[in-house]
Amino acid sequence: MARKRTSTLDDLVTILSRLPWWASLLIGLLSWLILHPVATTPYVPPAGLKPGDMSGVLLGHLWRTFALFGQYLIPAVCVFGAMGSIAGRHKRKQLLNNVKTATQPGKAIDGLNWQQFELLIGEAFRRQGYSVSETGGSGPDGGIDLILRKNNEKYLVQCKHWRSLKVGVPVVREFFGAMAVEGAAGGFVVTSGQYTAEAIGFAEGRNIQLIDGVKLKRLLAQRNPITPVPEPDTTAHVPSQAVFQPPASEPRCPACNSSMIKRTARKGSNAGNVFWGCSTYPKCRGIVDA
């Protein structure tokens, strides 16, 4: 099926609609402040103009003509982009609320198309404190679907709205490669279905969280998601990844009295040893032997 052709203005409105509404309006205001003085100031050719300098005169007239129309056109496009951003935000909120309030959330998720599924996942992470950028893929299998940012760290998200097939290790392996290319601290692969045992085994220790249909329901309901722990550059106790549910008998951090998470050292002389690490790592590096 051929891709629908769009104009440059349509593409610009689409790009602006993915920004916060206030950012689109700010761009429109700045464009008016720059172009309006140019449009209202008559063009005066420089003194001592020679016949060979007509190209400069032509460029000056073209710039003034562009400013004459652009001072109104660009702000108008930015206003439409801001309106699209507000409408999209409302749509995502309504989508998440509809799934959360459904009597059977699983069936509600299965009834979504892949685009709605990505919007749903993005809104779920956005409500939990992440800054979310939608990559705007052109198909249901376009690679990285969402880029999350939190605490100056970048995380990637790949959404797989697979209801009848299990997500296998090739998907997770390719996602891990994308994380390395993008320099991401961690990532999430989210599916409405399940994962194969090989995929689960590959994700262990690689700061990739696999969220299946069961965990997805918890993700949509909770307010504080688990953030994959980035691998620090040290040779001592290095955590591989945080477990989802720390045991009830967890100790308190001896340095800051925060809760602790059981981790496994991956480098140095203690590689393979299990220990308790502070949940606020890397702000606090307190550890307790397990």
CA distances to 61, 178, 184, 199, 241 from 170, rounded to whole Å, are 57, 12, 19, 8, 21
- Residues 141, 84 within the same domain: no
Structural domain containing residue 280: 260-289
Residue 212's contacts (CB-CB under 8 Å, 6 or more residues apart) are: 191, 193, 194, 195
- Residues 13, 87 within the same domain: yes
The pLDDT-based confidence of 239 (bands split at 50, 70, 90) is very low
Q: What is the pLDDT of residue 97?
A: 79
Q: 241 lies in a domain?
A: no
- Residues 96, 120 within the same domain: no
pLDDT above 70: percentage of residues in the chain: 78
Q: 255 lies in a domain?
A: no
Write down the pTM of the prediction: 0.57
- Residues 95, 135 within the same domain: no
Q: Domains in the chain: how many in total? A: 3
Across the chain, what does the average pLDDT equal?
78
Top pLDDT among 109 and 272 is at 109
**Residue 218's beta-bridge partner residues?**
none
Q: 132 lies in a domain?
A: yes
- Residues 90, 117 within the same domain: no
CATH of the domain at 172: 3.40.1350.10
Of the residues 221, 236, 271, which one is the last residue of a structural domain?
A: 221
